[in-house]
């Protein structure tokens, strides 16, 4: 896993940091991963007085998995979501996602509760750029990271060049 996934975010789980400021440094998907790994019940009715409990469960999930693992799993979760949105999921990538998060309803609950906490604490600017990592061979380039094609150099003059370019699906901005 690229070191860029974890760089500069590791320090955030330092002792002495309040749950609130820890949470602020996690994006929504990271919070969902932490909640999934926590003691949060898979089903409960949300009430305002549960807000501190939600933040505490996020802290608990981070403690259990470690900051690096939370980010790694969240990146895979984001990569899965990216493919799902584009109808590009492969059975292999979907299988790995389900192996990582076998309880679909729980993951759904964790994601909804993560959104609730974003209204509570906001997200620090540095926490927003979660890489979307595809866990398995990329369905567009099959893992090569590049695609052959005719690439627009200048649209106005109709200048095209044939050749390899970085795969738009798996080598998007934010990935390494
Ligand atoms: Zn690709």
Predicted local distance difference test score (pLDDT) of residue 159:
87
CA of 83 to the centre of ligand 1 (A): 11
Residue 47 belongs to some domain of the structure: yes
CA of 33 to the centre of ligand 1 (A): 25
Residue 24 belongs to some domain of the structure: yes
Instruction: Note whether 107 and 56 are same-domain residues.
Output: yes
CB 9 within 8 A of CB 127: yes
CB 147 within 8 A of CB 140: yes
CA of 151 to the centre of ligand 1 (A): 16
Instruction: Note whether 123 and 143 are same-domain residues.
Output: no
Total domains, the chain: 2
For residue 61, what are the domain limits? 3-127
CA of 102 to the centre of ligand 1 (A): 26
CA of 171 to the centre of ligand 1 (A): 6
Residue 158 belongs to some domain of the structure: yes
Residues whose beta carbons lie less than 5 angstroms from ion ligand 1: 138, 140-141, 167, 169-170
Residue 83 belongs to some domain of the structure: yes
Instruction: Note whether 68 and 8 are same-domain residues.
Output: yes
Predicted local distance difference test score (pLDDT) of residue 8:
34
Residue 132 belongs to some domain of the structure: no
The answer for residues whose C-beta is within 8 angstroms of residue 140's C-beta and 6 or more apart is: 88, 147, 167, 168, 169, 170
CA distance 173 to 176: 8
pLDDT, one tens digit for every residue, the chain (176 residues): 333 333 333 334 444 457 777 888 999 999 999 999 999 999 888 888 888 899 999 999 999 999 999 999 999 999 999 999 999 999 999 999 999 999 999 999 999 999 999 988 889 998 888 999 999 999 999 989 999 988 888 888 888 888 898 998 998 654 44
Instruction: Note whether 121 and 169 are same-domain residues.
Output: no
CA of 140 to the centre of ligand 1 (A): 5
Predicted local distance difference test score (pLDDT) of residue 158:
85
CA of 168 to the centre of ligand 1 (A): 7
Helix, strand, coil share (%) of the chain residues, nearest 5: 50, 10, 40
């Amino acid at each position: 896993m690229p070191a860029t996934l974890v760089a500069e975010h590791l320090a955030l789980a330092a002792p002495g940091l309040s749950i609130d400021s820890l949470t602020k440094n996690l994006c929504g998907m990271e919070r969902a991963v932490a909640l999934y790994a926590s003691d949060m019940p898979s089903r409960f009715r949300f009430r305002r007085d549960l807000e501190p409990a939600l933040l505490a469960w996020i802290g608990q999930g981070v403690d259990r998995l470690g900051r690096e693992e939370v980010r790694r799993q969240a990146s895979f979760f984001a990569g899965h979501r990216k493919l799902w949105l584009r109808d590009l999921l492969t059975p292999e990538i979907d299988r790995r996602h389900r192996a990582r998060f076998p309880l679909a309803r729980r993951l759904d609950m964790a994601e909804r509760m993560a959104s609730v906490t974003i209204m509570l604490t906001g997200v620090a600017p540095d926490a927003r750029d979660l890489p979307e990592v595809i866990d398995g061979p990329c369905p567009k380039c099959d893992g090569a990271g590049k695609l052959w094609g005719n690439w627009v150099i200048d649209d106005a003059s109709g200048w095209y060049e044939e050749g390899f370019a970085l795969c738009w699906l798996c080598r998007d901005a934010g990935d390494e």
